[in-house]
Amino acid sequence: MTKHILIISSELFSLINFRSSLIKYLIDGGHRVTVLVPKEKYNTEVTIQKLKSMGVIFKSYSLSRAGLNPFKDYLSYKSICFVISQCKPDIVIAYTAKPVIYAGMAMRHFPKISFFPLITGLGYGFTEGDGLKRKLIRQLMIILYRKGLKNSKGIIFQNPDDERLFYKLKIIFKNMSSHIVHGSGVDLDLYPFSPLPKKPIFLMLARLLIDKGVREYAEAARIVKAQFPKAIFQLAGRLDSNPSTISSNELNFWINEGSIQYLGEISSVQKIIASCRFYVLPSYREGTPRSVLEAMATGRPIITTDTPGCRETVIHGKNGLLVPPKNSKSLANAMIQLLEETDDKTQSMGRESFILAKDKYAVERVNKDIINILNL
């Protein structure tokens, strides 16, 4: 039976990059899809037309992604309520914190509509830290998530650690339905396996946030270059409005001292992933890191942290190395270990990354899992 599905996102960029294959899968299955994204300067007519050409109905709403402004957040909640009342969907899917919370609160007015929130990462408030601001945001997010998720038909997590944490914090309870899928998946056609280059290039792709481990990456690069001056450490991504963003002054310091090659914000990353020999993401916490999946599909050895969302992507010693978070020395040691490995071992790690991406994280597999959860 044909269903009308409303997908609520926090930005058009993530919808196009992370959810377009799911949208296409739903439309090819005969379902009607409406997307709701914030009004932003980045919403170019070309991008919007790309969605519409897929057969998607496009709608926008008011959302302030950064910060907690009660007035602006109330406007988001009312905007979502209005669109749901106008669209009358059968199913609502929301992902990232604010769309999940405010869509979930709105669902109390629409009890006949099935609500499936996707918990794609917990962000600043749930990353370990001692600051009072972080602790206050965490407590507020716990309260808001409880309110938002109690109206869900099924909660979809991207890793088992986040699911366990939500049960532990009593955000969700045993009588509620929860599921785990392997991230947003990776398209193996868009990120094909490619031979490892000989040049010792390390690459990190991420928003330039402290919680992504950017500082540890820069410090580890400084340590390694003292021993391996020909090693190259590339960093790509944008400065962000998130509370944990690094400053432009700090970024410029790394660039000027020569430890980091900054590539800026890159919209199409396939070429730079294919040009690196090793991929690094020293994040403090993730849902499932999409950039790591893309590097795995391309056949790159991975260095990432033994933290929620990241640890699932690496079998230590087989397709890469796991290191403790917030530890630039351990990260540097892992980089040196890969630089000193034989070419055969490094090639083997790259092949194992590709196999894991194909067998566990292929986007077709993830989409089928989501479709089954939605009971379509």
Structural domain spans, the chain? 4-180, 201-361
CATH topology of domain 4-180: Rossmann fold (3.40.50)
**Per residue of the chain (376 residues), what is the pLDDT tens digit?**
899 999 999 888 788 888 989 999 999 999 999 999 988 655 567 777 877 888 899 998 888 766 667 788 888 899 999 999 999 999 999 999 899 999 999 999 999 999 999 998 787 667 666 667 778 888 888 999 999 999 999 999 999 999 999 999 999 998 899 999 999 999 999 999 999 999 999 999 999 999 999 999 999 999 999 999 999 999 999 887 666 788 889 999 999 999 999 999 887 899 999 999 999 999 998 989 999 999 999 999 999 999 999 999 999 999 999 999 999 999 999 999 999 999 999 999 999 999 999 999 999 999 999 999 999 8
pLDDT at site 303: 98
Nearest-angstrom CA–CA distance, 82 and 6: 13
What is residue 62's predicted lDDT score, i.e. its pLDDT? 83
Q: Helix 343-356 vs helix 290-298: angle between axes, to the nearest 10 degrees? A: 120
4-180 and 201-361 agree in CATH topology: yes
Which pLDDT does position 239 carry in this prediction? 82
Contacts of 370 (CB under 8 A, 6+ apart): 22, 156, 181
The predicted model scores a pTM of 0.89
pLDDT for residue 116: 97
* DSSP assignment of 95-131: ESHHHHHHHHHHGGG-TTSEEEEEE----GGGS----
pLDDT of residue 321: 98
Looking at 3.40.50.2000, 3.40.50.720, 3.20.20.60, 3.40.50.300, the CATH number of the domain 201-361 comes to 3.40.50.2000
